[in-house]
Structure 1
Amino acid sequence: MPVVKKKRKLPDAEDHGRKSKITSFTRPQIRGARPIGAEKLFSNKKCLAWFHGYAGPDKVVGPEAMEKFCEDIGVEPENIIMLVLAWHLEAASMGFFTKEEWLRGMTLLECDCTERLQSKLDYLRSELNDSALFKNIYRYAFDFARDKDQRSLDMDTAKSMLALLLGRTWPLFPVFHQFLEQSKYKGMNKDQWYNVLEFSRTINADLSNYDEDGAWPVLLDEFVEWQKAWSAS
């Protein structure tokens, strides 16, 4: 799932401002010693010039500029690191970084140029190994990836984002993906999205500890029934 999305209508400034606060999750304090020497300290002016190098007169880094940005930092658009970066910037819309988002996030990361961000890529990736931070990033992804005029994620987007987030770590993901492929569901709401992560973390791969009377969404009850029938056949 490219975190850089090409087919997205550019939100106007008023609309974007109204919907930019989509999460209250606390960002972690960035670890690492501060650079020594005045010439090496974070420069707000340099960071702003870096932003305008991509945004130009649009005042926003859009899909085409985002692809150039990814190329410059050496990260594929579909790399999960781009999702982690968007989370740090508190970006409201997939494929877009506003000036406010850029300055806020890059200031916290102490990145005012390509080289400094490249030096933080390993750190960004390591955050995925922190259970609490990963949960925040996972929950953030729902609002980040959904069309803002929809309350749910369309199923194609949901499957792609789940593959990005859980594909390499959840043993049951390939089977769950098959279930979604043949299901009647056209989208995934926030409750379902949140519970898929909880399910992946707490339910055994053989489903032996799944409680049919538990408070799981119907989607997951149906997945368990489907998986058991599929295994039996």
Structure 2
Amino acid sequence: MSRASKDTLVSEFCSITNASPKDAKRYLDKHQRRLDVAIDAYFQESSGGRTTVASTSRLNALFDRYKDPSGDDISVDGTIQLCQDLQVDPEDVVLLAVAYELKSPRVGEWNRKGWIEGWSRLGCDSTDSMRVTLAPLRVKLGSDSTYFRKVYDHTFTFARTEGQRSLAVETALAFWALLIPTGLAGGALNHDLTDEDVDMDGEGSSGWTDEHTQWWFQFLTEKGGKGVSKDTWMMLFDFIRSIDSKFLTHDAEAAWPSTIDDFVAWARSGGKVPTTEAI
């Protein structure tokens, strides 16, 4: 690993944990420079290895602080205040992980049961402890494929308008713009090369990149349509992780949603990737 890469890891570790560069280097060296593992170990050891037991009464009191005066749910106004108290932007991707943990039914909505059970699992019963939890949760979302998939799947239901079976294209694009770059940057959407992912010159073909994400957005914007189906949303995760960067291994006869097949055809016809005939 280059010196620049090591310095980047140390910088990221320090920005997330507020640890010193010396401690950052020590934890990263101990855990083979796996950022997510090193950060988890740091937080675990900083707490003395103790598992925090959250106070249900404190969580109820916090919920009452943010809930609507006329009901027993936290809605948009309470969510905005919560974000201010947690010092997090309402559009920060980490809130999608929080929404999954607390089983939020819709954007900007939280019910008491999910609030109590979710924060209890995370060991939080104060805004301070919640704020601290956001950092390792953000790392886990970006680096852990299994966890990313759970949050990704929940986001479809979370973002969908009540009573609708699909997501509006604009809504889907907004949430993909949060999730996909996070998964690519942290490794949760890493592509595993196979023997098939090799071009004619014998050079390895990398997987999905930020450029592919922009192609996907351009395609959907040009295509229009009323919405993005659940099938398309769910299968895009598998497509991103399995396809090579030139779409050489894409099988149009496989069980991909037609939108994904159409996207590959669009990319090939537009000269963004080689056509099958040119390979």
TM-score, scaled to structure 2: 0.67
Of 206, 218, 227, the match for 1:178? 218
Larger radius of gyration between Structure 1 and Structure 2 = 2
1:174 deviation in Å?
0.5
Matched, 1:147 2:161: yes
Q: Distance in 2 between matches of 1:105 and 1:232?
A: 44
- Count of residue pairs the alignment pairs up: 200
Counterpart for residue 94 of structure 2: 81
Q: Is the 8 A contact 2:68 2:75 kept in 1?
A: no
Q: Distance in 2 between matches of 1:221 and 1:41?
A: 49
- Tell me the amino acid that sits aligned with residue 134 of structure 2: L
Q: Is the 8 A contact 2:159 2:167 kept in 1?
A: yes
Structure 1 unmatched runs, 5+: 1-30
Q: Distance in 1 between matches of 2:124 and 2:46?
A: 11
Aligned positions of 1:191-230 closer than 5 A = 191-230=231-270
Q: Is the 8 A contact 1:83 1:141 kept in 2?
A: yes
Counterpart for residue 123 of structure 2: 110
Matched, 1:93 2:106: yes
- Tell me the amino acid that sits aligned with residue 133 of structure 1: Y
1:70 deviation in Å?
0.5
Aligned positions of 1:16-165 closer than 5 A = 32=44, 41-57=53-69, 58-128=71-141, 129-165=143-179
Q: Secondary structure at the match of 2:270?
A: helix
Give me the CA root mean square deviation: 2.1
1:167 deviation in Å?
3.4
1:176 deviation in Å?
0.4
Q: Distance in 1 between matches of 2:152 and 2:44?
A: 25
Q: Hey, which bits of structure 1, 4+ residues long, moved more than 3 A? A: 31-36
Q: Is the 8 A contact 1:192 1:217 kept in 2?
A: yes
1:136 deviation in Å?
1.0
After alignment, is 83-92 or 118-127 more displaced? 118-127
1:32 deviation in Å?
3.9
Q: Is the 8 A contact 1:66 1:95 kept in 2?
A: yes
Identity, % of aligned pairs? Answer: 31
1:44 deviation in Å?
1.3
1:125 deviation in Å?
0.8
Higher RCO (CA-CA < 8 Å; seq separation 6+): 1
